[in-house]
């Protein structure tokens, strides 16, 4: 269709939708820089007159907020930040690594007993609350409860279908002749995979890594049911702040939420052209 | 038009431009063709032009015998095993085993406060019968989740399509706006739930805006219907971008010739859209609905932070009910049974969603 410019009403509609899209993020960010007096003011304060970073400071030093006469922040979020980083980075690395190997196998070889798409789909559809139950039982028996090892194992297994099918769709797009040409130069088939194919899907590898990282970083329920005192992640800590004070620590909670969201929005920006493919298991290619 | 879809082309120079990569040669275009016994779920039959393939959602189209390469070039079978085995072992140990435990559990009366799983009495289908026949709360949670899925997916589709059609026009700052409209998808579900909890407070900004346009504010989270509406709004905000993204990529790959032909034959823009373009979008729409439907039946984080299923159980979804059964009431066996019922229902639902478009998907798969 020939591209035409927007008409006035269409421009207005677009602006309205944009405002609705960005408003919650704006509100959260503003709350994160509000001093306690503005947190729950009536009428609500949209833009604080005296923006402050005290909420962010409180995340690492729970006593900082006391200067404003606010109590109730008993825990620093430092541990949760490091916990989230550890769990997400390790599980993403392993998931994408295993996924890459599986993707090459599925794309370049005929593999017996491969999982059918329906199995993968049903794995995705199973309510996490229900898988969490046997996890708790098995992890209690094997002393994996409340450990990063246990949580990372869960994250790897849950995201493996994503990394495998997304990477496979990138490998599928590369003609096999490229590898065969490298083999004519005397490389083994295995070396051809890793010295020819892998560098050529760098972009796809990056997008997959980012998407899997986003999934792991955002995960709440497994982290919640598998953690007790030793294990902490940002989503779990956020819910702790909310439940501990019936949600009244607006500013501190919002600061943690912004800290959790910012890297994903930044990272998501770089992979947006691959998001559709990733989230549809490669069904939509661009 | 495609520029809107590749705004990061200059940001990631390392990217070997997969969008522009077209299959060089028909023989390599479809790896499935080489071995008719295997399925190719990633929809490799899709060309760069194709609107969509249902990919993982069905077995690949029957491979064409004509393009099958000579035997020597077929996929080596034995080595492939070494590539997939590590991933399969991880899935088996971490995912399948717990699932089997849960399946067994769902046929017992086990509760961790009473006995160990080994001593639990085998009760057959009692849990399932209880759920379906006597447990009104479960049945209501199922119906509520379905209603939530239908309302929010319809709204997401309408809004996503509107936005995608607007993006077919030219305007300044398109790249930037494209990124901006995708933002909600990147936000963590717990953060979405928490943010909307703030927005929907009685003294929050949503009521303030209502006051501004002369409406009375309401206690959103304290009335059953309004709380449900709040959940729908939250879900729609969070996932409309995915519909937008998928539909825009579908619209951009609609072939130009039929559209030109329709224009030459005197069709109005409206007729062109609804009679020519939209029918070609159907496979893409189906993919969007299936992917979203799978996720929305599991919705938990957002609702948990927004309403905790309340007031009462008026916004309690299936996931929330299962969570409460297992982790608040410790009825693990019963919760597992509820989970398997939900899974069965979801599988049937996805199958039904796919059936009407399956033929079309095959035709348009190219």
What would the two tokens of residue A174 be?
A: 């590369």
pLDDT digits (tens, 9 = 90+) for B293-347: 888 888 899 999 898 887 888 899 988 998 888 888 888 888 888 888 888 887 7
Instruction: Pick the more confident residue, A13 or A65.
Output: A13
Cβ-defined contacts of B68-72 (< 8 Å, 24+)? B68/B33, B68/B34, B68/B36, B69/B27, B69/B34
* A77 near B CB under 8 A: no
Asked if the Cβ–Cβ distance from B166 to A6 is below 8 Å, we say yes
β-pair partners for A8: none
* Mean pLDDT, chain B, integer: 76
For chain B, the straight-line distance linking the first and the last C-alpha, in angstroms and rounded, comes to 22
Domains in chain B, please, with CATH? 84-125 (no CATH), 130-364 (1.10.3720.10)
Asked if the Cβ–Cβ distance from B83 to A104 is below 8 Å, we say yes
Asked if the Cβ–Cβ distance from A22 to B277 is below 8 Å, we say no
Question: What is the structure's pLDDT at A37?
Answer: 82
Asked if the Cβ–Cβ distance from A127 to B94 is below 8 Å, we say no
- Residue B1: pLDDT band (50, 70, 90) is very low
Least CB–CB distance from A6: residue in B18, B171, B179: B171
Q: Is the pLDDT of residue B214 over 90?
A: no
* The three-state (H, E, C) secondary structure of B220-240, written as one string: HHHCHHHHHHHHHHHHHHHHH
Secondary structure percentages of chain B, helix, strand, coil, to 5: 65, 0, 30
pLDDT digits (tens, 9 = 90+) for A229-253: 889 999 999 998 888 777 678 888 8
* A244 near B CB under 8 A: no
Asked if the Cβ–Cβ distance from A110 to B180 is below 8 Å, we say no
Question: What is the structure's pLDDT at B12?
Answer: 36
* A155 near B CB under 8 A: no
Question: What is the structure's pLDDT at A286?
Answer: 59
ipTM comes to: 0.90
Task: For residue A3, give the 3-state DSSP assignment.
Answer: coil
Q: How far is A55 from chain B (nearest CA, A)?
A: 16
- Residue B363: pLDDT band (50, 70, 90) is very low
Which are the contacts of B138, defined by CB distance < 8 A and separation ≥ 6? B131, B132, B318, B321, B338
**Searching chain A, which residue's CA lies closest to the CA of residue B196?**
A24
Q: Cα separation of A103 and A92, whole Å?
A: 16
pTM reported for the whole predicted model? 0.82
Q: Assess contact for B302 and B192: CB atoms under 8 A.
A: yes
What would the two tokens of residue B313 be?
A: 């159980």
Q: Is the pLDDT of residue B23 over 80?
A: no
pLDDT digits (tens, 9 = 90+) for B227-260: 999 999 999 999 999 999 999 988 988 888 888 8
Q: Assess contact for A281 and A162: CB atoms under 8 A.
A: yes
Of the listed ranges A129-133, B52-56, B150-154, B314-318, the least confidently predicted one is: B52-56
β-pair partners for B122: B108
- The size of the A-B interface in CB pairs under 8 A is 413
Domains in chain A, please, with CATH? 78-279 (1.10.3720.10)
Q: Cα separation of B293 and A21, whole Å?
A: 22
Asked if the Cβ–Cβ distance from A273 to B19 is below 8 Å, we say yes
**Searching chain B, which residue's CA lies closest to the CA of residue A265?**
B186
Asked if the Cβ–Cβ distance from B57 to A214 is below 8 Å, we say no
* Mean pLDDT, chain A, integer: 84
Question: What is the structure's pLDDT at B151?
Answer: 96
What would the two tokens of residue A220 be?
A: 């709440």
Q: Cα separation of B108 and B126, whole Å?
A: 8
pLDDT digits (tens, 9 = 90+) for B36-73: 443 333 333 333 333 333 333 334 444 434 444 444 44
Task: For residue B108, give the 3-state DSSP assignment.
Answer: strand
Question: What is the structure's pLDDT at B56?
Answer: 38
* The three-state (H, E, C) secondary structure of B317-341, written as one string: CHHHHHHHHHHHCCCHHHHHHHHHH
Question: What is the structure's pLDDT at B240?
Answer: 95
Look-up of token digits 């017992």: B108
């Amino acid at each position: 269709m020939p591209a035409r410019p927007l008409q006035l009403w269409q421009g207005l509609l677009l602006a309205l939708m944009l405002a609705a899209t960005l408003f919650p993020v704006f509100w959260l960010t503003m709350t994160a820089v509000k001093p306690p007096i503005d947190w729950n003011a009536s009428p609500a304060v949209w833009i604080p007159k005296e923006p402050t970073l005290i909420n962010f400071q409180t995340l690492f030093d729970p006593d900082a907020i006391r200067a404003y006469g606010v109590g109730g922040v008993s825990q620093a979020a430092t541990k949760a930040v490091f916990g989230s980083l550890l769990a997400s980075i390790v599980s993403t690395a392993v998931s994408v690594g295993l996924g890459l190997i599986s993707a090459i196998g599925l794309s370049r070889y005929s593999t017996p007993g491969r999982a059918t798409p329906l199995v993968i789909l049903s794995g995705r559809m199973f309510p996490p609350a229900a898988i969490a139950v046997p996890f708790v039982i098995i992890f209690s028996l094997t002393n994996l409860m409340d450990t990063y090892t246990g949580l990372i194992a869960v994250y790897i297994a849950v995201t493996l279908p994503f990394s495998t099918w997304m990477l496979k769709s990138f490998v599928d797009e590369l003609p096999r002749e490229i590898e065969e040409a490298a083999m004519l130069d005397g490389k083994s088939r295995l070396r051809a995979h890793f010295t020819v194919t892998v560098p050529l899907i760098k972009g796809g590898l990056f997008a997959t890594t980012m998407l899997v990282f986003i999934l792991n970083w955002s995960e709440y329920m497994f982290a919640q049911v598998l953690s007790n005192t030793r294990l902490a992640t940002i989503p779990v800590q956020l819910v702790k702040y909310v439940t501990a004070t019936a949600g009244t620590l607006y500013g501190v909670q919002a600061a943690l939420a912004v800290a959790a969201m910012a890297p994903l929005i930044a990272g998501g920006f770089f992979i947006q052209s691959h998001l559709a493919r990733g989230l549809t298991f490669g069904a939509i290619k661009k | 038009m495609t520029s809107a879809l590749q705004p990061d082309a200059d940001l990631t120079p390392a990217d070997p431009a997969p969008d522009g990569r077209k299959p060089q040669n028909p023989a390599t275009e479809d790896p499935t063709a080489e071995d008719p016994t295997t399925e190719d779920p990633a929809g490799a039959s899709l060309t760069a032009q194709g609107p969509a393939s249902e990919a993982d959602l069905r077995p690949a189209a029957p491979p064409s015998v004509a393009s099958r390469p000579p035997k020597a070039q077929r996929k080596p079978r034995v080595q492939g095993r070494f590539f997939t085995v590590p991933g399969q072992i991880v899935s088996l140990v971490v995912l399948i085993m717990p699932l089997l435990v849960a399946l067994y559990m769902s046929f017992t009366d086990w509760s961790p406060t009473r006995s160990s799983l080994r001593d639990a009495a085998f009760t057959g289908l009692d849990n399932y019968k209880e759920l379906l026949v006597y447990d009104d709360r479960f049945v209501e949670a199922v119906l509520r989740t379905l209603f939530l899925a239908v309302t929010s997916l319809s709204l997401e589709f309408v809004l996503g399509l509107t936005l995608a059609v607007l993006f077919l026009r030219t305007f300044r700052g398109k790249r930037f706006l494209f990124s901006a409209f995708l933002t909600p998808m990147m936000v963590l579900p717990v953060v979405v739930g928490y943010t909307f909890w703030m927005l929907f407070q009685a003294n929050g900004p949503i009521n303030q805006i209502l006051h501004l346009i002369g409406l009375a504010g309401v206690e959103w989270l304290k009335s059953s219907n309004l709380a449900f509406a709040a959940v729908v709004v939250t879900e729609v905000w969070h996932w409309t971008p995915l519909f937008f993204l998928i539909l825009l990529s579908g619209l951009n790959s609609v072939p130009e010739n039929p559209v030109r032909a329709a224009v030459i034959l005197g069709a109005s823009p409206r007729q062109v859209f609804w009679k020519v373009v939209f029918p070609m979008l159907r496979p893409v729409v189906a993919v969007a609905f299936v992917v979203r439907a799978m996720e929305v039946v599991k919705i938990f984080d957002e609702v948990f932070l927004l309403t905790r299923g309340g007031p009462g159980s008026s916004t309690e979804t299936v996931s929330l009910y299962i969570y409460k059964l297992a982790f608040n009431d410790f009825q693990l066996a019963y919760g597992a049974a509820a989970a398997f019922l939900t899974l069965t229902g979801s599988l049937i639902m996805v199958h039904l969603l796919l059936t009407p478009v399956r033929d079309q998907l095959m035709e348009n798969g190219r």
